[in-house]
Structures are given as structure tokens and as C-alpha cells.
Amino acid sequence: AQERYASIRDAEAVSKCGQRVHLLMNAGLMADLPSLEGSGAEGVGLFRTELQFLIRNQMPRRSELSALYARVLDSAGGRRVVFRTLDIGSDKVLSYMKANDEPNPALGWRAIRVGLDKPGVMRMQLQALIRAANGRPLTVMFPFVAQYDEYRQARAEMDKAMERERILGHPLPETLEIGAMLETPSLAFAPTKFFEEVDFLSIGGNDLKQFFFAADRENERVRRRYDTLNVSFLSFLQGIVARCNTTGTSLSFCGEDAGRPIEAICFAALGLRTLSMRPASIGPVKSLLMRTDLGALRRVIEDARERGEQSVRPAVMDFLRQQG
Ligand code: PEP
Ligand code: MG
């Protein structure tokens, strides 16, 4: 199998029915970057910046971060890198930032909520990113946005950071894209204006699924209870795809499920055309995608839903067995 994946490493990810799908990788440490070449990823669809904060015992300095982000962009060699701003809280606690003692950390003070309430760190990070880009294109994504206004406020911080850097005489990014992660069900129902304004959306399936089913992703007893291919969840994803198609919003999926070949082809069949995953999953996902007729798979999914099945997985497995 490894050899088969190596042989398709540089092939475009195109389904059997001719649909192009973009496969990107998730990363967070410098050590991940060599995988860009090795895996055949088209870019980094999710760079988890909090890992750099989690491996230290004190707050990194702006100059350190800026140097690091510049190296990430250098290693990517012009391929797109989506930098996600600090996503801490819940399961990711920094020893040097006041430990939060919350009854429900997953529903608590985390990610963009921390960034907006205590903007010092976010400002420093945005400045470091602009300096790292040093005139190159820059893509930034805010985690855990639950409502339009949080995106607007975060974007205003970015505007301010750009203005400061301009006044200081630093080169500004050639292009700047500012996206949001869709990981709370609320954001799927945000006003149309939000979908028009955001430069792109990326579904954080790990969190989105935990909140959709109200099942803690960290709790072994419940985390596997609900299938990602459950018809309710797939219908929900389909609704997001439809809204994004209406407004022309670019949409990707970057949770762990994007790296599971069967889930990945189902997402692609529902119209998700950009998937970001751990590097080792790119080969297996691409291989199955190349053998799959997405139109036929979509009909299989829709028929299973019509029949009132709970999960489309058995029907999809049958389809794949027939497909060979
Ligand atoms: C997600 O929630 O799906 C995601 C990609 O972010 P994280 O796993 O880092 O919360
Ligand atoms: Mg998340």
C-alpha cells in the first residue's frame, strides 16, 4: 500500500468522475513541515499555532514567533498555509496563563473568546504573522467563532495590526485572507452577510461533531457513540455546503474525519472540495477518491437517508465493495 501511495503522491486528487478535490495537511510544529513534500499535500490547511505555546513554559516573544512563522512559510515554498490563531482553553491549557477552573471547559473560556477578551496575545500574534509574511500572501483563521460579531471584532484587530505595521514601515502581505473555523452549530445559521464577508470557512469537525451530538470528544464512553456518517450530521454538513455555494464562500473541512478515507469521500460527495488532514492520510484518501464516482456515492447517501437509516455507513460500505 505504501508503494501505491508513493506512486500517486504527485498526482492530482481527482475522483473517478473527474471531480477535483484539494487535499491539504494539518501541522503545528516545524517537524511537521517536511511532510509537505513527502505526503503530496497541496498546502497546510490548518497550522495549529497553539502547539508552539504549549511546548514552552513561558509566553513566546513576538520576535521568536515571527521567525518561526517565517520558517513555516519558507518551507511551504509558496504553497498556502492557513495559520490558525491561538486555540487554547478546554483541553489545551497554558501553564503560564491563568489556569481556568471551569465547570465545563469545552463550553468555556477558550480560543477566540480568550483572544477577544484579552487581546494582548492575539495582537502580538497577528503582528508576528504580518512580519513573518514580509510581503508574501498571508492566510489567518480564527478558531471557535460562534457568532458573526466575534469574527467582525477579530477582523478589526487584524485591520488595526495591519495599520500599525504600515505606519512602522513594515511590508504588508501581498494578499490577506481572514477566515473562521466553523465548529459550533450556531455559526452555520449566522446571517448571510457573515458568509459574504468571511474570506473562507473551515469546518472543525472534531468540535462541531461534539457540539452537534452533545458528546464530549474527550470522553471515551461517548465519543464514538455517534457516527460521523449519521444522516443528521451529514444533512447538517450539506446545509453548510449549500449556504457556502449560495454566497460563493470557500469552504474546507479540517477535523480528524477528513483523514478517514470513507468519511472523506462522503464529504466530497456532499460537495466539500477541500479537505485538510494529518499528512499520513493524504495517500489513502487520494487513493480511494481516485477510485470513487462521487455522483453515484451521493445517490447512495441520499437513498439511505430516504430509507430512514441512522447512518449511511452500511450502504456506503456496500457501494465500495461493489465498486471493488
Ligand atoms: C476541530 O475542532 O476539528 C479542529 C480541527 O480543531 P482542534 O482539533 O484543534 O480543536
Ligand atoms: Mg477545534
Tell me the per-residue pLDDT of 260-275, one tens digit each, with 9 for 90 and over. Answer: 999 999 999 999 999 9
Q: Are 277 and 284 in contact (CB under 8 A)?
A: no
Centre of ligand 1 to C-alpha 167, Å, is: 35
Cβ 254 under 6 angstroms from ligand 1: yes
Q: Is the shortest distance between the CB of 179 and ligand 1 below 6 Å? A: no
Question: What pairs with residue 20 in β-bridges?
Answer: 14
State residue 88's pLDDT score: 92
Is the CB of 261 inside a 6 Å radius of any atom of ligand 1?
Answer: no
Hey, whose CA ends up nearest to atom 4 of ligand 1?
204
Residue 121 has pLDDT above 80, yes or no: yes
Q: Is pLDDT above 80 for 77?
A: yes
Nearest ligand, measured from the Cα of 204: 1
Residue 100 has pLDDT above 80, yes or no: no
CA-based nearest residue to 222, from 236, 211, 233, 238: 211
- Ligand approaching nearest to the C-alpha of 50: 1
Name which residue sits closest to atom 6 of ligand 1, judged by CA: 204
| Mean pLDDT of the region 289-303 | 98
Q: Taking the model in full, what pTM does it have? A: 0.97
For residue 50, give the ligand 1 atom closest to its CA: 9
% of the chain at pLDDT higher than 90:
92
For residue 300, the one-letter residue type is V
Instruction: Name the residue with the closest Cα to ligand 1, atom 1.
Output: 204
Verify whether ligand 1 is closer than 6 Å to residue 48 (CB atom). yes
Q: Say what the pLDDT of residue 92 is.
A: 83
Q: Which residue has the cell 472523506?
A: 264
Burial track 282-300 (b if 16+ CB lie within 10 A, e otherwise): bbbbbbbbeebbbeebbeb
User: Residue 80's closest CA among 126, 49, 41?
Assistant: 41
| Residue matched to cell numbers 514580509 | 134
CA separation for the pair 233, 64 (Å, rounded): 41
pLDDT over 70, % of the chain: 99
| Residue 203 CA, closest ligand 1 atom number | 3
Q: Does ligand 1 lie within 6 Å of residue 87's CB atom?
A: yes
ipTM: 0.99
Confidence check: pLDDT of 116 > 80: yes
Q: Is 220 exposed, middle or buried (0-12, 13-18, 19+ CB in 10 A)?
A: exposed
- Ligand 1 centroid to 183 CA: how many Å? 8
Q: Tell how far the Cα of 3 is from the centroid of ligand 1, in angstroms.
A: 30
Query: What is the pLDDT confidence band of residue 323, given thresholds at 50, 70 and 90?
Result: confident
pLDDT at 83 over 80: yes
Amino acid occupying residue 69: Y
Ligand 1 atom closest to Cα of residue 255 = 3
Residue 99 confidence class, pLDDT cut points 50, 70, 90: low
Least confident of 85-89, 90-94, 165-169, 299-303: 90-94
At 68 the pLDDT is 97
218 by Cβ neighbours in 10 Å (0-12 / 13-18 / 19+) ranks as exposed
- The finding on whether 255 has its CB within 6 A of some atom of ligand 1 is yes
Kindly state if the Cβ of 259 falls inside 6 Å of ligand 1: no
Nearest atom (ligand 1) to Cα of 204: 3
